[in-house]
């Protein structure tokens, strides 16, 4: 019995996976070759689970900018901007993000996780009301616990349930902040943002959208779900990350709020952690410029996403509600999910195994994320591997099998 014995239930769940010869938390790449290929156990493997939506991790310009900035400004800032100052790159990146979103203000954090911790714990405090979608990302839940606001959870993607809960607060003092995500990271479903915006207007609440998975993915110019849904005016705060479509690491928040600068002196997850190193900032600035200059990337991404989603659906796999770069295949149970995942890996396909408690509705999922950098051949190869493993596991019903054979 050690101090960690309190987590024995997690140990048992993990051991159950290990018993199937599956260790999803210890996948060790021998090498990463490109945004879409790595080497695992000596085998070249298609990467179809890395959130590398625009495939910019190996972009020539991004790498050059990172190298240049590292040579001229060093490997790190060795402290927070409060203590060690703001480098030119930090201010430049903030200006370019604000410009991209057409907002007055932007603030950069060291990760998207910290952006949510910082923003959620600072925007609302004691006596305020924080309204969270039940399927919110861990960083949103953790941010809600860092602050002192009363936290109320509404049913996933359900504006009526949110409305009902806001109505119950009528007459009570305090600000209300609604938090939703652009694309939900497990099932790839989007928030009904128009309807949420309507509820926000009706009730006088503030609205924050976490566009972690939708930046560079949705919207005419890649600004995310708020742009696609045509409700940017109603969104008071947008939070996002550099760690997915922009291929680096870091988080941000943008807003037109006139007091936004206050966040930089009250937000502890901003003030008490080291700022991003020059190389990361430089590659992120370049990636954002590339995102803006090359809408082709978004079109390639959606072409691949639709091809994968349609292909899996045609084989009879149960996928999420809409074709997005996140494609989730629901498995009948955890054992099947684990074995399926392992066989995909052995066949040269890397995806994410997502099991409770990390998944909504306690489902066991095979979670795939598509990149603009995948070739059509890679998507087709992934579909072939899925069909093959599905067949071996007796997973596809006999009449579906014929369809799968046609892929």
Partner 1 sequence: MRQNHQLALVETNGGGASSAMRDEIAAIFEQVLGRPVSLSDDTNIVEDLGMDSLGVMNFVMGIEDFYDLSIPLDRVAQIQTVADLMRAVEDLKSGKAV
Ligand X SMILES: Cc1ncc(COP(=O)(O)O)c(C=O)c1O
List interacting residues with ligand X (CB under 6 A). Answer: 111-113, 116, 137, 139, 181, 185, 210, 212-213, 241, 243, 251
Contacts of 402 (CB under 8 A, 6+ apart): none
Q: How many residues are there in the chain?
A: 407
Q: Which is nearer to partner 1, 168 or 299 (CB)?
A: 168
Q: Which is nearer to partner 1, 144 or 286 (CB)?
A: 144
Burial tier of 376 (Cβ tally within 10 Å: 0-12, 13-18, 19+): exposed
Q: Which is nearer to partner 1, 144 or 248 (CB)?
A: 144
Q: Judged by CB under 8 A, does residue 7 bind partner 1?
A: no
Q: Which is nearer to ligand X, 191 or 338 (CB)?
A: 191
* Residue 139 interaction partner, one of ligand X, partner 1, none, beta carbon < 5-8 Å per kind: ligand X
* Residue 168 interaction partner, one of ligand X, partner 1, none, beta carbon < 5-8 Å per kind: partner 1
Q: Which is nearer to partner 1, 153 or 292 (CB)?
A: 153
Q: Report the distance separating Cα 132 and Cα 154, nearest Å.
A: 6
Sheet holding 37-40, edge to edge: 29-32, 37-40, 43-47, 349-350
Closest by CA to 123, choosing from 205, 218, 192, 10, is 205
Q: Which of these segments, 113-121, 164-172, 195-203, 329-337, binds partner 1 (CB under 8 A)? A: 164-172
Q: Which is nearer to partner 1, 92 or 361 (CB)?
A: 361
Closest by CA to 158, choosing from 135, 177, 175, 137, is 135
Least separation, in Å, of the C-beta of 155 and partner 1? 7
* Residue 72 interaction partner, one of ligand X, partner 1, none, beta carbon < 5-8 Å per kind: none
* Residue 43 interaction partner, one of ligand X, partner 1, none, beta carbon < 5-8 Å per kind: none
Contact map string, positions 53 to 92, toward partner 1, x by CB under 8 A: ----------------------------------------
Judge if the upstream peptide bond of residue 357 is cis by omega within 30 degrees of 0: yes
Least separation, in Å, of the C-beta of 139 and ligand X? 5
Count of residues binding partner 1 (CB under 8 A)?
14
Tell which positions 322-381 bind partner 1, by CB under 8 A: 356-357, 361-362
Q: Which of these segments, 51-59, 147-155, 236-244, 281-289, binds partner 1 (CB under 8 A)? A: 147-155
* Residue 356 interaction partner, one of partner 1, ligand X, none, beta carbon < 5-8 Å per kind: partner 1
Q: Which is nearer to partner 1, 165 or 307 (CB)?
A: 165
Least separation, in Å, of the C-beta of 54 and ligand X? 15
Q: Judged by CB under 8 A, does residue 138 bind partner 1?
A: no
Q: Report the distance separating Cα 107 and Cα 260, nearest Å.
A: 9
Q: Report the distance separating Cα 265 and Cα 270, nearest Å.
A: 9
Q: Report the distance separating Cα 161 and Cα 405, nearest Å.
A: 44
* Residue 227 interaction partner, one of partner 1, ligand X, none, beta carbon < 5-8 Å per kind: none
* Residue 243 interaction partner, one of ligand X, partner 1, none, beta carbon < 5-8 Å per kind: ligand X
Q: Judged by CB under 8 A, does residue 151 bind partner 1?
A: yes
Residues contributing to the site for partner 1 (CB under 8 A) = 134, 144, 150-153, 155, 165, 168-169, 356-357, 361-362
């Amino acid at each position: 019995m050690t101090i960690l014995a309190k987590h024995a239930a997690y140990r048992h769940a993990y051991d159950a996976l290990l018993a199937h010869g599956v260790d999803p938390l210890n996948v060790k790449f021998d090498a990463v070759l490109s945004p879409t290929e790595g080497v695992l156990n000596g085998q070249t493997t298609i990467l179809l689970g890395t959130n590398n939506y625009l495939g910019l991790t190996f972009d020539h310009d991004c790498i050059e900018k990172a190298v240049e900035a590292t040579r001229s400004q060093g490997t790190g800032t060795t402290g927070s901007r409060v203590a060690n100052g703001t480098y030119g790159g930090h201010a430049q990146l903030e200006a370019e993000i604000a410009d991209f979103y057409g907002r007055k203000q932007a603030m950069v954090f060291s990760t998207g996780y910290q952006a949510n911790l910082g923003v959620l714990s600072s925007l609302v405090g004691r006596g305020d009301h924080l309204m969270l979608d039940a399927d919110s990302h861990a960083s949103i839940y953790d941010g809600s616990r860092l602050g002192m606001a009363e936290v109320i959870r509404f049913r996933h993607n359900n504006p009526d349930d949110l409305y009902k809960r806001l109505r119950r607060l009528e007459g009570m003092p305090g600000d209300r902040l609604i938090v939703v995500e652009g694309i939900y990271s497990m099932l790839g479903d989007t928030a009904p943002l128009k309807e949420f915006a309507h509820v926000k207007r009706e009730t006088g609440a503030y609205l924050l959208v976490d566009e972690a998975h939708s930046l560079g993915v949705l919207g005419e110019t890649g600004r995310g779900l708020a742009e696609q849904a045509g409700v940017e005016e109603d969104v008071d705060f947008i939070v996002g990350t550099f760690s997915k479509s922009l291929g680096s690491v870091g988080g941000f928040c943008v807003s037109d709020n006139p007091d936004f600068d206050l966040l930089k002196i009250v937000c502890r997850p901003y003030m008490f952690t080291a700022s991003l190193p020059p190389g990361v900032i430089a590659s992120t600035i370049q990636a954002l410029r590339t995102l803006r200059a090359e809408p082709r990337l978004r079109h390639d991404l959606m072409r691949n996403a639709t091809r994968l989603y349609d292909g899996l659906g045609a084989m009879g796999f149960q996928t999420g509600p809409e074709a997005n770069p996140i494609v989730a295949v629901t498995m009948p149970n955890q054992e099947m999910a684990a074995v399926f995942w392992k066989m995909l890996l052995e066949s040269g396909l890397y995806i994410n195994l997502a099991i409770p408690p990390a998944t909504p509705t306690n489902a066991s999922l095979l979670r795939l994320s598509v990149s603009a950098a995948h070739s059509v051949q890679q998507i087709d190869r992934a579909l072939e591997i899925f069909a093959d493993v599905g067949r071996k596991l007796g997973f596809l019903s006999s009449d579906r099998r014929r369809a799968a054979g046609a892929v």
